[in-house]
Amino acid sequence: MERWTVDGFTYWFEPAQREWWWWDAEFVSADDLIIRVAVTELQFSHQALEWLLWAAGATLVEDEFVRELSQRSAPRSPK
């Protein structure tokens, strides 16, 4: 992952630039935390948020909503 400058990073957290807002967080185990954000559109600029999570020590960052959508839209195999 490419390093960001502090100014470049914090720019994306300004309200006028951000397309997501903190919604909720839930510990599902001692090692796992689910963070939920509200977004203005399905496609949103998530790189700053993802970089923040990695910098905070995350070992896995995945988009649960996109994964759920892809599972729903996957073609069903014929029976």
The yes-or-no verdict on residue 71 having pLDDT over 60 is no
- State which residues form the domain around 63: 6-73
Residue 78 resides in a domain: no
What are the backbone angles phi and psi of residue 77, rounded to the nearest 5°? Answer: -80, 145
Cross-strand partners of 34? 26
Higher pLDDT, 79 or 8: 8
Residue 54 resides in a domain: yes
Residue 79 resides in a domain: no
pLDDT in tens, 25-68: 999 898 888 888 888 877 777 888 888 888 888 888 887 665 54
Q: Rounded to whole angstroms, what are the CA distances from 11 to 18, 25, 64? A: 9, 23, 26
The pLDDT score that the predictor gives to residue 8 is: 82
CB-CB contact of 16 with 10 (8 Å):
no
What is the total count of domains within the chain? Answer: 1
Residue 41 resides in a domain: yes
The pLDDT score that the predictor gives to residue 55 is: 84
pLDDT in tens, 8-18: 888 888 888 88
